[in-house]
């Protein structure tokens, strides 16, 4: 028997094992084949056989996106997200707007802001049911942005309580306290940001003092000006994982815009617009899965929520209380938005139902 071609990126070697180091020649030497049905293949490495598991019953605790074949029912199944909904969460201790939200629905922060009288330095921590005051930021300000986790976050720019209005200040959170670190190159407020933690961030748009398209990248040591947005704007939404992957959407140019741009670590590219133009929104998520909740359409605050799937925006469940200048954090499966204007202590939690689904032909 000659060499048999097969569609795997591995070779079957002596003993019927698949050699994952043999490259991509896709040939099974005749010496390694017992018969045409390849019955002497006794083991498959993860790279060849673990994409879809074969299970006698559905797993008791599947993870989002997991797929498997149920050999008892002969069905292909997945654990997928269903429709999302907003529900009332725990109230903040201090009402304020234009603050920064960071973290997750069960481990979040609500930082700085304006209590409708003046800038505040307050920092509150969320556990999924209640807010607790923790260590204040060093400099009270509002119209700030940033991101990260409950134990490693960064707060960027903002409005100073006195002149000059725009700020270059950046503060880093280590889970216990805030530390002032290297400043932005350009004093800016009303921009947006994306951050993985306090060492990896991108800040874009805002006022400096005119509306700007400037983008700055942080590598844990220094801020570097990089390629501008295609459309200058302020009070824009933002999502992403830091200086290599971000999304900018909405804002005020003027007028209020629906333009969305994607950052690939080098440059911004215009992608599909929002369905409803707005600014001052609560935004969260990644460049492949983001959420935009509420905001101001140029006339009134709207309750509309839109979800980004990596390609386009679609309208989904409205928030319970329409806001402008609120903060949000989390993911498209579980997140939160807090306060905003009209100023109050409200928190809303976004949750998507997850369920086992049988995959069928359509």
Task: Please report the pLDDT score of residue 353 as a whole number.
Answer: 78
Instruction: State the pLDDT at residue 219.
Output: 98
**For residues 53 and 335, is the Cβ–Cβ distance under 8 A?**
no
State the DSSP string of 287-331.
SSSEEEE--B-SSSB---EEEE-SS-EEEEPPPSS--BS-EEEE-
pLDDT: which is higher, 355 or 264 = 264
299 and 228 share one domain: yes
Distance from C-alpha of 298 to C-alpha of 160, rounded to nearest angstrom: 25
Task: Tell me the two tokens of residue 178.
Answer: 């805030």
Q: Are both 15 and 148 inside the same structural domain?
A: no
For 123, the token pair is: 């920092």
Task: Tell me the pLDDT band of 30, cut-offs 50, 70 and 90.
Answer: low
Q: Are residues 273 and 347 in the same domain?
A: yes
Asked whether residue 309 is assigned to any structural domain, the reply reads yes
Q: Which two three-digit tokens encode residue 285?
A: 């998520």
Residue 169 lies in a domain: yes
Q: Which residues partner with 268 through β-bridges?
A: 263
Q: Higher model confidence: residue 161 or residue 110?
A: 110
Q: Which residue has the higher pLDDT, 40 or 261?
A: 261
Do 207 and 263 fall within a single domain? yes
pLDDT at residue 43 is higher than 80: no
Reference 139, options 164, 166, 170; nearest CA is 170
CATH number for the domain that contains residue 245: 2.120.10.80
Q: In 3D, which of 235, 228, 218 has the Cα closest to residue 153?
A: 218
DSSP state of 130: -
Domain count, the chain: 2
Give the mean pLDDT of 10-17.
Answer: 51
Q: Which residues contact 204 (CB under 8 A, 6 or more apart)?
A: 191, 192, 193, 213, 214, 215, 216, 229, 236, 238, 246, 248, 263
Please check whether residues 88 and 40 belong to one and the same domain.
no
Q: Residue 15 — very low, low, confident or very high, per pLDDT cuts 50/70/90?
A: low
**pLDDT, greater one: 63 or 269:** 269
Is 313 in contact with 275 (CB distance < 8 Å)? Answer: yes
**Domain check: are 240 and 286 in the same one?**
yes
Does residue 56 lie in a domain region? no
Residues shown for the chain: 362
178 and 102 share one domain: yes
- Residue 191: name the closest of 155, 220, 223 by CA: 155
Tokens representing 83 are: 């429709």
Query: Is a pLDDT exceeding 50 seen at residue 334?
Result: yes
> Looking at the structure, do residues 45 and 188 belong to the same domain, yes or no?
no
Sign of the torsion angle spanned by Cα atoms 184, 186, 187, 191: negative
- Read out DSSP for 152-190? SEEEE--B-SSSSSBB--EEEE-SS-EEE-PPPSS-BBS
- Residue 48: φ, ψ to 5°: -100, -30
3-state secondary structure of 344: coil
pLDDT band with cut points at 50, 70 and 90 for residue 3: very low
Helix (H) or strand (E) holding 87: strand 75-88
Write the pLDDT tens digit of every residue in 71-120: 898 888 887 767 899 999 999 999 999 999 999 999 999 999 999 999 99
198: alpha, beta or left? (left if phi > 0; alpha if psi -120 to 50)? alpha
Nearest alpha-carbon partner for 185 in 212, 161, 163, 162: 212
In a domain, 254, yes or no: yes
Give the pLDDT band (50/70/90) at residue 267: very high
Q: What is the pLDDT of residue 95?
A: 97
Q: In this structure, is residue 285 part of a structural domain? A: yes
| Residues 119 and 29 both lie in one domain | no
How far apart are alpha carbons 3 and 213 in whole angstroms?
59
DSSP codes, 225-253: EEPPPSS-BBS-EEEEEETTEEEEE--BS
Q: How many CB atoms lie within 10 A of CB 129?
A: 10
Contacts for 28 with CB less than 8 Å, ≥ 6 apart: 3, 4, 5, 6, 11, 12, 38
Contact 260/247 with Cβ under 8 angstroms?
yes
What DSSP designation does 24 have?
T
In this structure, the answer to whether residues 42 and 91 fall within a common structural domain is: no
Two tokens, residue 192: 């947006």
238 within some domain: yes
Greatest Cα-to-Cα distance within the chain, rounded to the nearest angstrom = 85
pTM, whole model, 2 decimals? Answer: 0.79
Range of the structural domain that residue 350 is part of: 82-354
Q: Are residues 173 and 292 in the same domain?
A: yes
Q: For tokens 């741009």, what's the residue?
A: 261
pLDDT over threshold 90, residue 285: yes
Is residue 93 in a domain? yes
Match 């992403």 to its residue by tokens: 240
Asked whether residue 253 falls in the same domain as residue 119, the answer is: yes
- Domain assignment of residue 74, yes or no: no
């Amino acid at each position: 028997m000659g060499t048999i071609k097969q569609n795997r990126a591995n070779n079957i070697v002596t003993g019927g094992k698949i050699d994952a180091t043999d490259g991509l020649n896709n040939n099974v030497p005749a010496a390694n084949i017992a018969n045409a049905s390849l019955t002497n293949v006794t083991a498959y490495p993860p790279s060849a056989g673990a994409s879809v598991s074969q299970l006698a019953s559905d797993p008791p605790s599947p993870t989002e996106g997991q797929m498997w074949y149920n050999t008892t029912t002969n069905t292909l199944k997945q654990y997928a997200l269903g429709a999302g909904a907003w529900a009332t969460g725990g109230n903040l201790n201090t009402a304020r707007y234009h603050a920064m939200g960071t973290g997750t629905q069960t481990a979040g922060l609500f930082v700085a802001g304006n209590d409708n009288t003046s800038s505040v330095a307050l920092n509150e921590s969320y556990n999924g049911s209640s807010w607790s005051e923790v260590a204040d930021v060093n400099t009270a300000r509002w119209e700030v942005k940033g991101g990260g986790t409950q134990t490693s976050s960064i707060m960027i720019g903002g409005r100073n309580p006195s002149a000059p209005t725009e700020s270059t200040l950046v503060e880093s959170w280590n889970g216990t306290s805030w530390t002032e670190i290297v400043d932005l190159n350009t004093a800016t407020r009303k921009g947006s940001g994306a951050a993985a933690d306090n060492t990896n961030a991108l800040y874009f748009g805002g006022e400096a003092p005119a509306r700007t398209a400037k983008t700055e990248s942080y590598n844990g040591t220094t801020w570097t000006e990089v390629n501008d947005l295609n459309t200058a704007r302020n009070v824009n939404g933002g999502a992403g994982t830091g200086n290599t992957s971000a999304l900018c959407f909405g804002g005020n140019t003027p007028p209020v815009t629906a333009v969305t741009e994607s950052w690939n670590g080098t440059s911004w590219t215009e992608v599909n617009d929002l369905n409803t133009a707005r600014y001052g929104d609560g935004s969260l998520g990644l460049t492949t899965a983001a959420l935009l909740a509420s905001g101001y359409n140029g006339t009134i605050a709207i309750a509309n929520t839109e979800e980004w799937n990596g390609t386009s925006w679609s309208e989904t469940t409205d928030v319970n209380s329409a806001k402008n200048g609120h903060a949000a954090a989390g993911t498209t499966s579980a997140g939160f938005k807090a306060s905003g204007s009209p100023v109050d202590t409200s928190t809303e939690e976004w949750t998507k139902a997850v369920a086992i689904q049988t995959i069928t032909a359509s």
